[in-house]
Structure 1
Amino acid sequence: FKGHKLIFTGINSEDGVNVVSSKNRKTPDSVSAQNLTKNNVLSFSHQYTPTKNFSNKLTASWYTNQGGGSVESEFLDPTLNRKNFENVSADTLAPYLLGFKVRSEFTFEKYSISDKLYYYWGNNLFEAGAGVDFLKTIIDFKFDLDPELKAIFSANPGLRTTINSIKDIKNYKRYNFYLQNNFELSNNLYIQPGLRYDYYEVLDKSYFAPRISLSYGIDDLTTIRGSWGIYYQSPGYEKLRDQNTFYDLTRKYTEFLESEKAIHYVVGLERWLTSEWLLRTEAYYKDFRDLIVQQIEQGGNYFTERVPGGDIRSVSGWTRPVRNIGDSLTQIPINNSFGEAYGVEFLLEKKNSERGSNFSGWISYAYAHANRYQRRDIIPFAFDQRHTVNIVGNYSLGSNWELGFRWQYGSGFPYTEPIGLKPRILLLDTDNDGKPETPVVATRASYANPNSNEVIFDIDYGDRNRFNARKPAYHRLDIRVTKATKLWNYDWTFYLDIINIYNRTNVVGYSFYVEDDLTLGRETNSMFPILPTIGFSVKF
């Protein structure tokens, strides 16, 4: 259509899991898991461009992510060394198994309507847009945990949270509007002020976010850029899967809750070294405010101490557990944290713009810090990575053959290293009123001598000891060879991908356990080894 462009998009996907442990399994764990997840996307866009100075794009979309599942499991106490319990029957290991059940149903649905307008007037560009999201979330999670598993969670400050069943249905809307204009003040000076408005019905609050960017051309090859802006992010159940945190977003808790806020400061320099080589450097600072965390309530933790000269494996070697005032996380969201991220980035890019040039690619390096401040503690964000390097290249070999490669390096992400071991403490119902109230040092039959009981030990992560260590550096090299050809009047591309070609063992994390001599053991969990794949694509 003259001046009109219509775009339709549709995606449907389903993922299902149905797992039951084999009777012939080598490990003592058993699991029964069922899960079905459906994702659907429908989108329609109408772009109208009657003149070269004006364009408008209207988009309507629908997205849904829904599913449900259940997990029932008996697994080996995570404080034990799994290698010592392979090929042993579950009946024999019954005292060492913990139970866990969870049933879940969820629906995240969003209808969106948005409109964006572009208008060139003189040497200036005006842009405006508006949109509304209609969101519906339904969550229903039911938990049933073994008391000893709860004790393990209590021993880890990173997991010390109230794991309650939660059920909620929430319908809410988000409105937004923005406008900005890129002004050409002179041949080499441009400024772009802007303003965004957001209304989050889940909070019943409105926010205005001003922003501005500036670019100045020192000469034909060098440009200085800078920007400043305020950004807001609303809480919502649709973020549950990304953040892995349960928040109770009922009105009584969101009435005084604010949206998370970030203020960005960016300055950069761009320089063309030749007609093909571009050097860019950028420094940034991000100020995070009103970060949402789980409310902490005073809880009842228990501790015990060694009896001088006593047997560490025997209950008599420990004092009677006493109550200690400790922290317990709830599902109540509050704005009780702030943070910052800052760093510098360098990019050297080779563009394939000259005739006869077969190579293109880029090299980048980033140095960064990202910390949050909470209750007088400085805690790095999970994504805090000090050094990051990327080297990417593509080389045309001729005859429609192409070789590509990518090397990535990243210094270690933070993780929590335990400080030692401590006895597991359980609450028992000694007065038969149906409520456990008496703390005792937990014991079980000795694996070496089933006729005697010995103290069960948990991993001790310390009280406020989060992210106190770093994983090893991550690096890998991937290569890709492609061949383009024409078959049956269609354009085909065949490729060979090899991920992690030198088979680097990159660490995902660690599993900690108690050794037989009551020292702390550690097992490394790694990412994929070398992984070759072949495939093809066709355009028709």
Structure 2
Amino acid sequence: MTLARCTSLLLMLLVGTATALAQPAPTGLSGQVRDESGAPIPDADVTVTASVDGAISRAATDADGRFAIPELVPGRYAVIVERAGLVPAVIPDLVIDAGTTRALTLVLRVPGISEVVSVGADQAPPAAAPSTIELPPTIVQNVAGAAENIYRVLQTLPGVGAVNDFDSRLTVRGGGPDQNLTVMDGVEIHNPYRLFGLTSAFNPETVANFELTTGGFSAKYGDRLSSILVVENRPGRASPGLGATAAIGLTDGNLVAEGRVPGTNDSSWLVTGRRTYYDLVAERIVDADLPSFADLQARLDLQVRPGHRIAIFGLNSREGTDARFEDDDDGDEYVDILTSTQNDLGAVSYAATIGSRAFSRTTVSWYRNRELIDFAGDLRPGARRSNSPDTDGMPLAAIVFTRRLSIQDVALRHESGINLGTSHLVEAGVETHNLDTTWRWRIAGERNFDASNGSSGQGGAGIPSLLDSAQASVRVGAWVTDRWTMAPGVRVEPGLRLDWSGVTGETTISPRLAAVIDVTSRTRLRLAGGLFTQSPGYEKLLQSDYFLDLTDAGGLSVKSERAWHALTAVERRLARGVTIRLEGYYKDFDRLALGRLETPEETAARVATYDFPASLASGIPRAAQVTTVPANIGTGRSYGAEIYAEKRATSPDTRLSGWASYTLGRAETTAYGRVFAADYDRRHALSVVSSFRLNRLIEVGATFRAQSGFPYTPAIGVRPASVEDPLAAAAGRTRLIPLRDARGQLVWSADYGDTSNFNTGRLPVFARLDMRVTFRPRWSSDRWQLYVEVINLLNRDNASEINTVLGFDPSSDRPAITEERTGRLPLLPSFGLRYRF
């Protein structure tokens, strides 16, 4: 045998031995599939796909809902469980270690017309009702620029936008943020934001699914005019041993621990904590308590007996700021800010299967949100100055206010359903909310000079200087729906909802109707419409841009706001995983609750407090101003067309995935004797979200948004600024005199006109590109994920607001008006990592 042949043989033996030694020990996957009540589901299809090579393993559940897939190679897998007529359960990223068998518990739920049902690649497109889009948590975790915040992902969907660049609050088809409802596991969440709206209260690691419906939603939900976001948390994984995940992102880090309840086979627990981390370092440098938050959530799922389960959930959140900021260029300017937010939630849910046809679920919850803002500062407002070239022409304004609010909601929600043959699934339910809300204002300083509307929550002139308002009320809702299969491919869902509000003392009845028609095997037509109502309450005003004094809402005969929805959508499946949808919508609003105008007597009394010389009398604001007294004086409409195209990842071989949406819409309000653009009227909005896998290790994501600007109220001129006479104040009288600077020159302030000037301006076009590169190394059986992200990659100077700035004008006796863009996110790089134990 030649040396070459001997060498070749030796190398083959060495390589073969190394390969044999390196071959991972066999492992496996087992578990049980159940319905929402805990009853086992037989004959469900279980598909396991390896992330590395796309190898597929399949199994079916037995009569007890159990399955087993042995002989798997250690690594990362995607698991999907499907059964005809039920919403699939998906675990997109599961790590299986060598020599172990992972045990899972997966839940399939009964779909409604507004939910996705997709079984197999050859089935018809998802049966989503108009305006409903489901988002798996893995998408929320991976969208570029979203910082794992569900609300920032929702902003890329058709008809949905952010109220500004920083905020997580949403505007849906021209509606205000107070018109949107968030429900988590059957519990209304009145404050779903953290860090002043920069991030959300939800950790995608513990969420099973997000579902947004932007109109025409089911009669199961009510007391909102625009949209419903349903968040479903997942139970802990009932597998042997302890499971855990750690992650760090733009604003916070989080840790999730979960496992099986000792002594049981089908019960589980889950605990997760989140906390900001930047403040731990920065506070050592700046000697201040910067904005920070900490969350702790816990969940216990117990199977009482087959078909009967109890879920216990709790949440505790604390957020605060205690800081002083000073202007390095102007030693006289400073701001002291103290904030505190506390969110607490406790809930118990009982789900049961009754016989073979019926089911029920009852949830009892206690929720409390308490907030404090204590602000004091001396500032030089840009919208107020004399016509002097230096800073002496900009007198300091003392801004001093305190806001305290509390929302407590003790709620009961019961829903049940029964299958009547093969054509009808009738569901009915009732919910009650025992609300105890308070709102307190203390305004000792000057008002917001840029607030054109007197009821503005940002310190409008119409807000009382001293307010101590409390509302204790009960709200009740009841509903019934029938999911009726009229014929193969034709399904309708008529519904009826009844709401009673203790604030208004009225009962409203809201008919609803939705339908799905399979035109072909690839095309579906969906229709929805009905009446939607929203009762007045401080729990809604928490998200509003305006404040209304509800102290005497009953005596003022304030009624629930109303909106009629009509929606039509056509959806076409072009290829496997590729869907396109065209939708049109129309919403008609009436009885909108707005701050009423001053009465002639109130206007005369306010004007009488001005003591201006005759030469300046023309500068006294004599037009009636908007107050915080609520009245149902507004109507409006919103209409438009949307197109949505989506390409989903259907296998590990899918390289490009994402979606694109475009909305052409219009929203207008009729109030104060005129028709004007609604606050969140946006004519054009384009969003593109993409993810491209360069290889199995690296993925590049991008999010691009381009939108026309919202309306705003521009300054139309300047008028003499006023200040309260201290001598008159000491005597208990209000006397406003012209304000003058240190040199005795008259100080001017921006004049925003009366209600005829509301929303006559338009913000500039908004455009932003975010990029993200994700790296998934092979370390520790693919347990690591790292990413680098850049928000506003092009550093575009967007504008969430336009501020009026008065500048020195040497050619005039008064300052000139200029405008500056504010409220944008700058180019912001960040990183994140995730590790699954």
Deviations 1:54-100 (A, max 9, x none): 43222222221113342222221432479x999x7xxxx59811223
Alignment of 1:124-135 (within 5 A): 124-135=424-435
Partner of 1:527: 824
- Which amino acid letter does the alignment assign opposite residue 382 of structure 1? D
Distance in 2 separating the partners of 1:406 and 1:510: 25
Distance change >3 Å, CA 117–CA 439, structure 1 → 2: closer
Match of 1:537 in 2: 834
Q: Deviations over 1:384-409 (max 9, x none)?
A: 11111111122334435433222111
Are 2:343 and 2:370, in contact at CA under 8 Å, matched by a contact in 1?
Answer: yes
Percentage identity across paired residues of the two chains? 24
Write out aligned runs for 1:299-338 (5 A): 299-300=603-604, 318-320=615-617, 325-338=622-635
8 Å contact from structure 1 (residues 415, 468) kept in 2: yes
User: 1:212 matched to which residue of 2?
Assistant: 513
Cα offset, 1:507, TM superposition:
0.9
For the pair 1:248 / 2:549, whether they are aligned, the reply is yes
2:561 to 249, 257, 260: 260
Q: CA RMSD in A?
A: 3.2
Change (3 A) 1:44 1:359: farther
Shift of 1:210: 0.5
Q: 446, 470, 477: which is aligned to 1:169?
A: 470
Aligned partner of 1:456 among 716, 735, 747: 747
Q: Does 1:472 align with 2:764?
A: yes
- 1:36 and 2:340 correspond: yes
Higher helix content, 1 or 2: 2
Contact 2:434-2:475 within 8 A present in 1 as well: yes
The Cα shift of 1:284 comes to 0.6
**Structure 1, residues 197-245: CA drift from partner, whole Å, max 9, x if none?**
1111111211110001122222212222111111111111122331143
Cα gap change, 1:367 to 1:225, in 2 (>3 Å): same
Contact 1:271 1:280 in 2 (8 A): yes
The one-letter amino acid of 2:409's match is: K
Which letter maps to 1:178?
A: W
Quote the Cα distance in structure 2 between the aligned partners of 1:60 and 1:432.
52
Q: Does 1:507 align with 2:804?
A: no
Q: AA paired with 1:385? A: R
What residue in structure 2 maps to residue 97 of structure 1? 396
**Structure 1 residue 255, shift from structure 2 partner:** 5.2
The question of whether the paired residues in 2 share the 8 Å contact of 1:481 and 1:497 is answered with yes
Which region of structure 1 is more displaced relative to structure 2, 150-159 or 357-366?
A: 150-159
Between structures 1 and 2, the one with greater strand share: 1
Q: Which amino acid aligns with 1:60?
A: V
Question: Which one has more relative contact order, counting CA pairs under 8 Å at least 6 apart?
Answer: 2
TM-fit CA distance, 1:115: 1.8
SS of residue matched to 1:445: coil
2:541 match: secondary structure: helix
8 Å CA contact 2:450–2:803 kept in 1: the answer is no
SS of 2:477's equivalent?
strand
Relative distance call for 1:404 and 1:254 in structure 2 (3 A) is farther
Distance in 1 (alpha carbons) for counterparts of 2:619 and 2:396: 27
1:340 aligns with 2:637: yes
Counterpart position of 1:233: 534
What do residues 418-442 of structure 1 show as CA deviations (whole Å, max 9, x unaligned)?
Answer: 1121222456589999365766543
Give the Cα–Cα distance (whole angstroms) in 2 for the partners of residues 516 and 227 of structure 1: 57
2:803, 2:819 within 8 Å by CA — same for their partners in 1? yes
Whether the aligned pair in 2 keeps the contact of 1:40 and 1:64 (CA below 8 Å) is: yes
Secondary structure of the residue aligned to 2:351 is: strand
Q: Which runs of 5+ in 1 are unaligned?
A: 304-314, 447-452
TM norm structure 1: 0.86
Moved more, 22-31 or 128-137: 22-31
2:663 counterpart (366, 377, 382): 366
Structure 2 distance, partners of 1:9, 1:483, is 34
| 2:384/2:394 contact within 8 Å kept | no
Provide closer, same or farther for how the CA distance between residues 485 and 56 of structure 1 changes in structure 2, counting only shifts above 3 A: farther
- Residue 79 (1) aligns with residue 383 (2): yes
- Alignment of 1:70 with 2:369, yes or no, is no
Between the aligned partners of 1:259 and 1:472, the Cα distance in structure 2 is 35
Query: Structure 1 CA distance, aligned partners of 2:310 and 2:773?
Result: 35
Question: 1:28·1:85 contact (CA, 8 Å) conserved in 2?
Answer: no
CA apart distance, 1:323: 6.7
How far does residue 329 in structure 1 lie from its aligned partner after superposition?
2.8
CA distance in 2, matches of 1:183, 1:189: 9
Most deviating of 18-27 and 524-533: 18-27
Structure 2 unmatched ranges of 5 or more: 1-302, 810-814
Q: CA deviation at 1:274?
A: 2.5
Separation in 1 of the partners of 2:580 and 2:537? 40
Please say if 1:114 is aligned against 2:418.
no
For 1:395 and 1:489, how far apart are their aligned partners in 2? 23
Instruction: Write the distance in 2 (CA, Å) between the matches of 1:534 and 1:4.
Output: 43
**Distance in 1, Cα, partners of 2:655 & 2:452:** 59
Structure 2: distance between partners of 1:11 and 1:289: 37
Give the Cα–Cα distance (whole angstroms) in 2 for the partners of residues 95 and 339 of structure 1: 40
Specify the SS of the correspondent of 1:417.
Answer: coil
CA contact (8 A) 2:423 2:486 kept: no
Q: Deviations over 1:31-60 (max 9, x none)?
A: 222222111122332332466744322222
Q: Within 1, Cα distance between the matches of 2:836 and 2:357?
A: 33
Instruction: Please state how far the C-alpha of 1:377 moved relative to its aligned partner.
Output: 1.3
Secondary structure of 1:15's aligned partner: strand
Kindly state the Cα deviation for residue 344 of structure 1 after the two structures are TM-superposed. Answer: 0.4
Check whether the contact 2:763–2:802 (CA below 8 A) recurs between aligned residues.
no
Q: 1:144 aligns with which of 444, 448, 454?
A: 444
Contact 1:20/1:32 (<8 A) preserved: yes
Contact kept? 1:81, 1:514, Cα under 8 Å: yes
After TM superposition, the structure 1 stretch with the greater mean CA deviation from structure 2, 25-34 or 402-411, is: 25-34
Aligned mates of 1:80, 1:251 — CA distance in 2 = 36
> Match of 1:383, SS?
coil
Aligned length: 515
Contact 1:108 1:138 in 2 (8 A): yes
Give the whole-Å Cα distance in 2 for the aligned partners of 1:28 and 1:361.
51
Which residue does 1:310 correspond to in 2?
none
> Take 2:696 and 2:583, find their aligned partners in 1: how far apart are those partners?
39
Q: Which amino acid aligns with 1:12?
A: N
Moved over 6 A (4+): 150-158, 429-433, 486-490
Partner of 1:402: 699
Query: Where does residue 312 of structure 1 map in the other structure?
Result: none
Cα deviation, 1:124-163, whole Å, max 9, x if unaligned, reads: 32222211112111222211134xx588878989744243
Match for 1:272 among 552, 570, 573?
Answer: 573
Residue type of the alignment partner of 2:404: E
Deviates more, 1:399-408 or 1:430-439: 430-439
